[in-house]
Amino acid sequence: MLVAAELVLCGDPAPGVGGEFERECAKVLRDSLPDGYVLSANVNIPRPGGEFYENDLIISAPGICDILEVKCVHPEARVWEDRISTPSGFALDRVLSKLDHKAKVLRSRLDRSPFPSTGTHRPIRVQSQVVVPSNCRVTFEWPQHKITKPVLTVKETVEKYKTLAASSNRFRDDATRAQIRSAWLAFRDQSQREGRRTPQYLGRFAIRRASRSGSGVFEYRATDDPPCRMDVRLREFAFDPLQPAAELQKFLQAVARETRVLMNIRHPNIACVIGHFQTGGSWVQVSDWFDGEKLEELWPTVQEASLVDKLRIFIKVIQALEFCHERGVFHRNISAETIQVARDLSDVRVVGFDCALDVLSTATTNTDGLRDIRVLAPEELQGGGSTNPRLSDIFQTGVVLYRLLEDGAWPFTDTLDYVTSSGQLRPFAGKSVDREILVLQQITADMLAIDPRRRTDLLGKVERQIAELLG
């Protein structure tokens, strides 16, 4: 039997030590129990009077639906009739009677959509149990509890449900298992619509097209709900929701880096981020949809374009970067992969600000591993970078200009090869006597100077030089 229980995250655990133990307990159960179990975490069930019962974990399978109340009690739990106490004096009053009432409320909720309530599902009795850490000593002071064992450690809980799965013929009913899984997923999507994740929807957005943009990252063209029905671009970063809170927070800080930068920048040639949200297992960035493709994928089209059209693409790129530089933002990863162009070459968006340096931000994240090593500026390879981060963008933009002039060909294999060859560019194709071409080749060479002090130091200057050529 495969070990692959499924987690359905319906909410977030409480902050603090108790919430961390909830995460740990859910992770152990998810990773230890066999396929067929569904673990629904942090489930809010309405109760009479308009209030809610929060259930730490609900474990479901054919013939099984139990509430698990997770309590970080140690080093010893003494279980009385309706009370759990520790040697330190800490006590949980009425914990078992509250669980009994939660079970009755959940049983009533299971009779309504989206839960199946006919056939093999109807006879289920909802039971409950308290789960404590595996290193906790449990002593039953009430005689009846020595038989029923309403409090178990995490390790004992795993063994209990493994035994139930192995001994039950109903557990292997694939159709019933699939119905239970679908019901809990539907319940999550109904109760937490903004955080749903299905093959058809991501949050409130209907997915129209999906593609992978990197390790663990997916991109989507999606449509907002009525009445807007606006097309958007979604970037989804997957994570394990049961990792420790500190690790999860560190991950979220890293993936939200680009969003923090772009939500402060508005320019017609820069990808416009309009929001973000979180599902049970991913963080999602929302930006305006731009119907274009990476410049790297458009070289056959660019080859057929006029010099004027190529230069107009380039001017829009440097205008966008110049706007960023004026606001203390430096891209640091400009290439044909991070420039999107409309198929008719009429419009441009600069994207891929994951590695950007924002001098006004106090957040620091090492993103060097994400950068394209083929276009790192020479000073970054030669020891410690530059005191003028603008010059790195100018070098990388010079590579883009070279490739626009040369129909996608690279000026060098990579920056290291360029540095070790003392700045020898791959010769421009063909000899030209055209003044405009010669000026553009010189502009490119100046932007690609190995010594940053000899490099053109303002994109505005490059823009003016090219504008003069265009007349």
H or E element, residue 69: strand 64-70
pLDDT of residue 39: 96
Q: Is the pLDDT of residue 161 over 90?
A: yes
**What is the rounded (10 degree) CA torsion for 42, 46, 48, 49?**
90
Beta bridge partners of 64: 61
Neighbour tally for 166: CB within 10 Å: 11
The rounded distance, in Å, linking the Cα atoms of 118 and 223 is: 36
* 3-state class (DSSP) for residue 214: strand
The rounded distance, in Å, linking the Cα atoms of 445 and 263 is: 34
43: closest CA among 157, 240, 192, 203?
Answer: 192
Angstrom CA distances, 323 to 265, 351, 390, stand at: 9, 14, 12
- What are 328-357's pLDDT values in tens digits? 999 999 999 999 999 999 999 999 998 899
461: closest CA among 360, 322, 328, 332?
Answer: 322
- What are 78-100's pLDDT values in tens digits? 999 999 999 988 999 999 999 99
The rounded distance, in Å, linking the Cα atoms of 376 and 297 is: 21
Q: Which of 230-234, 393-397, 431-435 has the lowest mean pLDDT?
A: 431-435
Q: What is the percentage of the chain residues whose pLDDT exceeds 90?
A: 63
Q: Give the mean model confidence (pLDDT) for residues 11-21.
A: 87
| Domain limits, the chain | 6-191, 195-288, 292-470
Beta bridge partners of 236: 218, 284
pLDDT of residue 362: 58
pLDDT of residue 365: 58
Mean pLDDT of the chain: 90
Beta bridge partners of 41: 9, 57
Q: What is the CATH number of domain 6-191?
A: 3.40.1350
Residue 450 half-sphere exposure, CB side, CA atoms within 13 Å? 15
Give 118's pLDDT tier (boundaries 50, 70, 90): confident
Q: Give the mean model confidence (pLDDT) for residues 463-467.
A: 93
Q: What is the percentage of the chain residues whose pLDDT exceeds 70?
A: 94
376: closest CA among 388, 366, 391?
Answer: 391
Give the phi and the psi of residue 334 in degrees, each rounded to 5: -75, 130
Residue 243 tokens read as 């990792």
pLDDT of residue 318: 97
pTM for the whole thing? 0.74
Angstrom CA distances, 250 to 148, 235, 365, 395, stand at: 42, 18, 10, 31
pLDDT of residue 384: 55
Q: Give the mean model confidence (pLDDT) for residues 128-140.
A: 96
Q: Is the pLDDT of residue 290 over 60?
A: yes
pLDDT of residue 469: 86
Q: Is the pLDDT of residue 176 over 60?
A: yes
The rounded distance, in Å, linking the Cα atoms of 461 and 31 is: 59
User: Which residue type is seen at 224?
Assistant: D
* 3-state class (DSSP) for residue 390: helix
pLDDT of residue 37: 96
Class of the CATH domain delimited by 292-470: mainly alpha
Give 363's pLDDT tier (boundaries 50, 70, 90): low
Q: Is the pLDDT of residue 227 over 50?
A: yes
pLDDT of residue 323: 96
Q: Determine whether domain 195-288 maps to CATH 1.10.1060.10.
A: no
pLDDT of residue 178: 92
Give 300's pLDDT tier (boundaries 50, 70, 90): very high
Q: Is the pLDDT of residue 366 over 70?
A: no
- Sequential DSSP letters for 216-284: TEEEEEEEPPTTT--EEEEEEEE--TTS-HHHHHHHHHHHTHHHHHHTT---TTB--EEEEEE-SSEEE
pLDDT of residue 192: 72
- What are 28-69's pLDDT values in tens digits? 999 999 999 999 999 999 877 667 889 999 999 999 999 999
pLDDT of residue 397: 97
With both helix axes pointing from N to C terminus, report the angle between 459-470 and 307-326 in degrees, rounded to the nearest 10: 150
Give 203's pLDDT tier (boundaries 50, 70, 90): confident
- Sequential DSSP letters for 131-148: EE-TT-EEEE-STTHHHH
pLDDT of residue 1: 42
Asked if 352 and 371 count as a contact pair (C-beta separation under 8 A), the reply is no
10: closest CA among 236, 190, 192?
Answer: 192
Asked if 123 and 107 count as a contact pair (C-beta separation under 8 A), the reply is no
Give 14's pLDDT tier (boundaries 50, 70, 90): confident
Q: Which of 93-102, 183-192, 256-265, 281-290 has the lowest mean pLDDT?
A: 183-192
